[in-house]
Protein backbone atom coordinates (compact mmCIF):
# COMPACT_ATOMS: atom_id res chain seq x y z
CA UNK A 1 0.00 0.00 0.00
CA UNK A 2 1.25 3.48 -0.81
CA UNK A 3 1.86 5.84 2.07
CA UNK A 4 -0.51 8.64 2.98
CA UNK A 5 2.13 11.15 1.83
CA UNK A 6 2.41 9.41 -1.55
CA UNK A 7 -1.36 9.57 -2.04
CA UNK A 8 -1.32 13.24 -1.10
CA UNK A 9 1.52 13.99 -3.54
CA UNK A 10 -0.43 12.39 -6.39
CA UNK A 11 -3.49 14.49 -5.60
CA UNK A 12 -1.38 17.65 -5.40
CA UNK A 13 0.30 16.79 -8.71
CA UNK A 14 -2.95 16.36 -10.63
CA UNK A 15 -5.83 18.66 -9.67
CA UNK A 16 -4.19 22.09 -9.31
CA UNK A 17 -1.69 21.76 -12.15
CA UNK A 18 -4.31 20.02 -14.33
CA UNK A 19 -6.89 22.80 -13.95
CA UNK A 20 -4.17 25.40 -14.52
CA UNK A 21 -3.11 23.60 -17.70
CA UNK A 22 -6.68 23.45 -18.98
CA UNK A 23 -7.20 27.17 -18.25
CA UNK A 24 -3.89 28.45 -19.63
CA UNK A 25 -2.96 25.87 -22.26
CA UNK A 26 0.54 25.63 -20.76
CA UNK A 27 1.40 21.91 -20.78
CA UNK A 28 3.89 20.42 -18.35
CA UNK A 29 4.72 16.82 -17.47
CA UNK A 30 3.00 15.18 -14.53
CA UNK A 31 5.27 15.71 -11.51
CA UNK A 32 4.20 13.36 -8.72
CA UNK A 33 7.23 13.78 -6.47
CA UNK A 34 7.12 16.74 -4.14
CA UNK A 35 9.82 17.20 -1.53
CA UNK A 36 7.76 17.43 1.65
CA UNK A 37 10.08 16.22 4.39
CA UNK A 38 7.23 14.07 5.72
CA UNK A 39 5.87 17.19 7.45
CA UNK A 40 2.10 17.32 7.92
CA UNK A 41 2.05 21.13 8.15
CA UNK A 42 3.94 21.47 4.88
CA UNK A 43 1.60 19.05 3.09
CA UNK A 44 -1.40 21.01 4.40
CA UNK A 45 0.16 24.25 3.14
CA UNK A 46 0.61 22.66 -0.29
CA UNK A 47 -3.02 21.49 -0.15
CA UNK A 48 -4.18 25.06 0.57
CA UNK A 49 -2.09 26.37 -2.36
CA UNK A 50 -3.57 23.71 -4.65
CA UNK A 51 -7.09 24.69 -3.57
CA UNK A 52 -6.30 28.33 -4.35
CA UNK A 53 -4.87 27.33 -7.74
CA UNK A 54 -8.00 25.33 -8.57
CA UNK A 55 -10.32 28.14 -7.47
CA UNK A 56 -8.37 30.72 -9.48
CA UNK A 57 -7.98 28.79 -12.74
CA UNK A 58 -11.31 26.96 -12.87
CA UNK A 59 -13.13 30.29 -13.25
CA UNK A 60 -10.97 31.02 -16.30
CA UNK A 61 -12.22 28.04 -18.34
CA UNK A 62 -14.93 29.16 -20.76
CA UNK A 63 -18.01 26.93 -20.81
CA UNK A 64 -17.67 26.38 -24.57
CA UNK A 65 -14.31 24.62 -24.02
CA UNK A 66 -15.74 21.82 -21.86
CA UNK A 67 -16.30 19.50 -24.86
CA UNK A 68 -12.94 20.22 -26.52
CA UNK A 69 -10.49 17.34 -26.78
CA UNK A 70 -7.28 18.01 -24.91
CA UNK A 71 -4.22 16.09 -23.75
CA UNK A 72 -3.46 16.80 -20.08
CA UNK A 73 0.14 16.61 -18.95
CA UNK A 74 1.01 16.01 -22.60
CA UNK A 75 -0.22 12.42 -22.50
CA UNK A 76 -3.81 11.86 -21.25
CA UNK A 77 -6.34 12.53 -24.00
CA UNK A 78 -9.95 13.35 -23.27
CA UNK A 79 -12.35 16.24 -23.22
CA UNK A 80 -11.98 19.11 -20.78
CA UNK A 81 -15.00 17.87 -18.81
CA UNK A 82 -13.82 14.22 -18.76
CA UNK A 83 -10.42 15.39 -17.51
CA UNK A 84 -11.98 17.43 -14.73
CA UNK A 85 -14.19 14.48 -13.77
CA UNK A 86 -11.07 12.31 -13.67
CA UNK A 87 -9.40 14.78 -11.30
CA UNK A 88 -12.46 14.65 -9.03
CA UNK A 89 -12.87 10.85 -9.21
CA UNK A 90 -9.15 10.36 -8.55
CA UNK A 91 -9.36 12.54 -5.44
CA UNK A 92 -12.41 10.67 -4.15
CA UNK A 93 -10.65 7.33 -4.73
CA UNK A 94 -7.44 8.34 -2.98
CA UNK A 95 -9.24 10.12 -0.16
CA UNK A 96 -11.01 6.81 0.53
CA UNK A 97 -7.65 5.02 0.46
CA UNK A 98 -6.31 7.58 2.92
CA UNK A 99 -9.20 6.96 5.31
CA UNK A 100 -8.58 3.19 5.17
CA UNK A 101 -4.87 3.77 5.70
CA UNK A 102 -5.44 6.00 8.75
CA UNK A 103 -7.92 3.56 10.28
CA UNK A 104 -5.44 0.72 9.73
CA UNK A 105 -2.96 2.76 11.79
CA UNK A 106 -5.57 3.14 14.53
CA UNK A 107 -6.26 6.80 13.69
CA UNK A 108 -9.88 7.86 13.30
CA UNK A 109 -9.96 10.26 10.34
CA UNK A 110 -12.14 13.35 10.49
CA UNK A 111 -15.68 13.00 9.23
CA UNK A 112 -15.66 14.10 5.60
CA UNK A 113 -18.73 16.31 6.13
CA UNK A 114 -16.96 18.34 8.83
CA UNK A 115 -14.72 20.98 7.32
Q: Bin 67: left if φ > 0, else alpha if -120 < ψ < 50, else beta.
A: alpha
Average pLDDT, the chain: 89
User: In angstroms, rounded to a whole number, what is the distance separating the alpha carbons of residues 54 and 65?
Assistant: 17
8's CB contacts (< 8 A; 6+ apart) are 36, 43, 47, 98
Of 88 and 40, the one with more pLDDT:
88
pLDDT digits (tens, 9 = 90+) for 58-92: 999 999 999 999 999 999 999 999 999 999 999 99
User: In angstroms, rounded to a whole number, what is the distance separating the alpha carbons of residues 97 and 22?
Assistant: 27
Neighbours of 12 (CB within 10 A): 20
Query: Does the pLDDT at position 115 exceed 80?
Result: no
pLDDT for residue 50 = 93
Q: Is 101 helix (H, G, I), strand (E, B) or coil?
A: helix
pTM of the model: 0.84
pLDDT digits (tens, 9 = 90+) for 4-27: 777 788 888 999 999 999 999 998
User: In angstroms, rounded to a whole number, what is the distance separating the alpha carbons of residues 14 and 20?
Assistant: 10
CB 30 within 8 A of CB 71: no
Which CA distances in Å does 30 have to 46, 51, 72, 106, 107?
A: 16, 18, 9, 33, 31
Of 112 and 22, the one with more pLDDT:
22
Query: Does the pLDDT at position 48 exceed 90?
Result: yes
Establish whether 94 is an annotated binding residue: yes
Q: What residue ranges do the domains of the chain occupy?
A: 4-27+39-104
Amino acid sequence: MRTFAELTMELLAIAGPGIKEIATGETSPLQEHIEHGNKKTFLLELWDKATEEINTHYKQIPVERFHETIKTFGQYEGTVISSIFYFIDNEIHHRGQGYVYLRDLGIEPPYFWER
